[in-house]
Amino acid sequence: MEKHYGLPLGLPEGASSHALQLDNLTAIVHWFMAVLFVGWGIFFVYALLRFRKSRNPVASYEGAKGHFSTYGEAAVVLVEVLLLVGFAVPIWAKRIDNPTNVPDAVKVRVVAEQFAWNSHYAGADGVFGRTDSKLITAGMNPLGLDPTDAAGKDDIVTINQLHLPVNRQIYIELSSKDVIHSLFLPQMRVKQDAIPGQKIPVWFEPTKVTPAENSLPGCATTKTCWEIACAQLCGLTHYRMRGFYQIHDAAGYDKWLSENAPKIATLPSPPAPTGEPVTPTGAAVPGENPAGQGGPQPGDQDATPPPAN
């Protein structure tokens, strides 16, 4: 088990650039609480013995005259200030450095709903397709992608799966369709509430590829996948709101994008207005009218009905 400042915290494997900082801070806080627990425990036992009834049959109304308690309280405040200024504030300051303008950042929209996680990738063009809540249909179009928007033709939408590349900044735009949810990626040390009506930025950088035993599809059978958990009670079947996420190397991520890109069907060439055969570009082939005459042919939509037999 991995230790931090000598403490086996029992945390999931840390796989992001900021995981070690958070784990070390957690260990320091645990040590500080241990010192407080032991110190106040010793003081409590001392007070029980020092001020027991047999030794003090008559109550003293003057109280303690020494400054031990004052010094003790000052020491506690000093340690808390050191924790806040030396550790918590620097970590917080680094985390609020929003990488929206990082050119290489991978941007994903994650939309929570009862009781699923929807992930939206921009596709090869890098532009998210337009969405409209009126177009949402359960299962078929959970995000309401507009099929008439050219930018959305190559978009990828997954349900309860999140795929990301290693060693690149990840920028997630988090939102919710219905109630408050909470996106929790344990190995990334990421946890953020998803609030209806708000688009909340979440960013981190994965530093480890998901091990084979924790990768899809095999981990679904062994129940060893890296899970997307909802850390906020969101309804009667909150326990079912779990997904899976996987960190790929660069080649694996590109392969996943390629395999999951929408297969855009090639529409057949429209018929020529004259009814003549057409080339692949839709242009009529001159001089090859099957009936030997120009103009509309029997059976064409813009012609008279074919003669009766």
Q: Which of 22-31, 184-193, 251-260, 275-284 has the lowest mean pLDDT?
A: 275-284
87/123 same-domain check: no
154/245 same-domain check: yes
Q: If you average pLDDT over residues 189-208, what whole number do you get?
A: 94
Q: If you average pLDDT over residues 5-26, what whole number do you get?
A: 85
121/251 same-domain check: yes
- Per-residue pLDDT tens digits for 49-85: 988 888 878 877 776 677 777 888 898 899 889 888 8
For residues 46 and 64, give the distance between their C-alpha atoms in angstroms, rounded to a whole number: 14
**Residue 308 resides in a domain:** no
What's the pLDDT at 65?
A: 74
| Percent of all residues in the chain with a pLDDT value above 70, rounded to a whole number | 81
Number of structural domains (the chain) is: 2
Answer yes or no: is pLDDT of 142 > 80. Answer: yes
29/128 same-domain check: no
What's the pLDDT at 97?
A: 66
**Residue 299 resides in a domain:** no
82/132 same-domain check: no
209/84 same-domain check: no
- Sequence-ordered alpha helix ranges (H) in the chain: 19-50, 68-83, 89-95, 218-222, 250-260
For residues 116 and 281, give the distance between their C-alpha atoms in angstroms, rounded to a whole number: 44
**Residue 269 resides in a domain:** no
**Residue 280 resides in a domain:** no
Is there a contact between 298 and 307 (Cβ–Cβ < 8 Å)? yes
- Per-residue pLDDT tens digits for 146-187: 999 999 899 999 999 999 999 999 999 999 999 999 999 999
Can you give the pTM of this predicted structure? Answer: 0.72
83/110 same-domain check: no
Q: Comparing 279 with 241, which gets the higher pLDDT?
A: 241
Q: If you average pLDDT over residues 214-233, what whole number do you get?
A: 91
111/160 same-domain check: yes
Q: If you average pLDDT over residues 115-119, what whole number do you get?
A: 94
Q: Which domain holds residue 83?
A: 3-53+67-95
Find where tokens 């050119």 sit: 103
What's the pLDDT at 264?
A: 57
- Per-residue pLDDT tens digits for 266-288: 444 455 555 544 344 333 333 33
For residues 28 and 83, give the distance between their C-alpha atoms in angstroms, rounded to a whole number: 8
- Domain limit, last residue, from 222, 243, 260: 260
Find where tokens 């945390």 sit: 11
What's the pLDDT at 280?
A: 40
What's the pLDDT at 277?
A: 45
- Domain limit, last residue, from 260, 281, 298: 260
206/229 same-domain check: yes
Q: Band of the pLDDT at 293, cuts 50, 70, 90?
A: very low
